[in-house]
Structure 1
Amino acid sequence: MSMLQNKITIVTGASSGLGRAIALRYAAEGASVVIADMIEAPLEGGETTLERIRTGGGQALFVRTDISSWDAVDALVRETVNHFGRLDVIVNNAAIYTSTNLLETTPEQWGRVIGVNLTGFFYCCKRAAQQFLAQEPVNEVRGRIINISSQHGMVACPGDFPYGVSKGGIVQMTRQIAVDHADDLIICNAIAPGKIVTGKPGVANNPDALDYSRRRTPWPRLGAPEDVAGAALFLASDMASYMTGINLMVDGGWMAG
């Protein structure tokens, strides 16, 4: 049997990048996937995540969602349950950054990054937990929360102040939820990617930055979205039944060096 057979999942930011890879992997393993994003077209180009999943015979739904809005997150979970009957896993992946240090960051930039990366995760975690408590457990678990954090939640990312602060907050949010809601049979873990090469434009794919990351990463290649998707599959599955509150590094040994 596939690892996520009959599981109902939400993946935020699933039109592109890491979220797209996670959604495709979940669908390949038998999950029904709700793709939550602001735009449907992938930054990498080509077919949408929804089209890819349905072409492969999987079950999927696209719900346009701004996670910085409680009403939008509430509607996302309600539509998921109305369509599929329950919710088993939510992957909080959608995030933004400004590439600004403390002095360069405007109040508006700070508010937007924290509003998506921290408040948005809070909204998604809370609304998912509310739904989990309203349904019966399966294999002793009511539901699973997987937060995409970052190695930059533990070490500073030079010149990206609000992003790093938000990712550090996500790591602590994950621990807090795991401890507070273990008795509710809610599992909450995080995944901290290292340097992952995605198709998104901008500073992340600057040649100098990529060269530094290659030299800094012990493993002889940089990460791919599929590497993070493999970790997300494991944490969503029944194989990870006695793990909660962890921040799982997927970084090619960066943090060990």
Structure 2
Amino acid sequence: MPILQNRISIVTGASSGLGRAMALRYAMEGATVVVADVIETPLEGGEITSNMIRDAGGRAIFVKTDISSWDAVDGLVEETVRQFGRLDVIVNNAAIYSSTNLLETTPDQWARVIGVNLTGFFYCCKRAAQQFLKQEPLNDIRGRIINISSQHGMVACPGDFPYGVSKGGVVQMTRQIAVDHADDLIICNAIAPGKIITGKPGVANDPEGLDYSRRRTPWPRLGVPDDVAGAALFLASDMASYMTGVNLMVDGGWMAG
């Protein structure tokens, strides 16, 4: 039996990149996937995520969602439960990147990055937990929260002020939820990716930055989205039923060096 058979999942930011890879892996393992994103078209090109899942015989819907809006997050969970009856796993992945230091960061820029990367995660965690408490446990767990953090939430990256601060907050948010809601049978973990090549355009493909990442990463290749998807699959499964509050590094040994 597929290891996520009959599980209902939400993956935010699932139209592109890491979110897309996690959504596809969940569907391959039997989960119903709600693809939540501000746009449906993949930034790296290719077929729409929910269409790929349905074409392969899986169950998926797309719900347009800006996680920086409580009303949008509330509607996302409501629609998930309306269509599928419950929610078992939420993967909080949607985020925006902004590479500036303290003095270069404008108040509007700060508000936008924190509004998505931290407040948006708070909204998603809270609304998911509210739903978890309404439903009966499945294998002694009411629901699972998986937050995508970053190695930049644990070590400083030059000129990465708003993004790094937001990801550091996600790591602490994960621990706090895990401790506060263990008695509620809610599991909360995080995944901290290292350098992952997603194919999306922009600063992530800067040749100088890629060269530095290759030299800095002990493993002889950089990461790909499926590396993160594998960790997300493990944390969503019954194999990870005594892990909570963990920030799982998927970084090719970067943080160990």
TM-score by length of 2: 1.00
Partner of 2:182: 182
Partner of 1:4: 4
Does the residue aligned with 2:182 lie in a helix, a strand or coil?
coil
Q: 2:241 is matched by which residue type in structure 1?
A: S
Residues in 2 aligned to 1:157 and 1:121: alpha-carbon distance in whole angstroms: 22
What stretches of structure 1 of length at least 5 have no aligned partner?
none
Counterpart mapping for 1:185-224 below 5 A = 185-224=185-224
Deviation at 1:44, TM superposition (A): 1.2
Find out whether 1:86 has 2:86 as its counterpart: yes
Partner of 1:125: 125
Deviation at 1:97, TM superposition (A): 1.4
Counterpart mapping for 1:99-178 below 5 A = 99-178=99-178
Partner of 1:248: 248
Deviation at 1:224, TM superposition (A): 0.2
Residues in 2 aligned to 1:199 and 1:151: alpha-carbon distance in whole angstroms: 20
Does the residue aligned with 1:144 lie in a helix, a strand or coil?
strand
- The Cα offsets for residues 168-225 of structure 1, whole Å up to 9 and x where unpaired, read as 0000000000000000000000000000001111111101100000000000000000
Does the residue aligned with 2:238 lie in a helix, a strand or coil?
coil
- The Cα offsets for residues 40-76 of structure 1, whole Å up to 9 and x where unpaired, read as 0001111000111011000001000000000000000
What stretches of structure 2 of length at least 5 have no aligned partner?
none
What is the CA RMSD across the aligned residues, in angstroms?
0.4
Residues in 1 aligned to 2:55 and 2:44: alpha-carbon distance in whole angstroms: 18
Residues in 2 aligned to 1:183 and 1:61: alpha-carbon distance in whole angstroms: 32
Deviation at 1:226, TM superposition (A): 0.2
Does the residue aligned with 1:75 lie in a helix, a strand or coil?
helix
User: Identity over aligned residues, as a percent?
Assistant: 85
Question: Does the CA contact (< 8 Å) of 2:44 and 2:201 recur in 1?
Answer: no
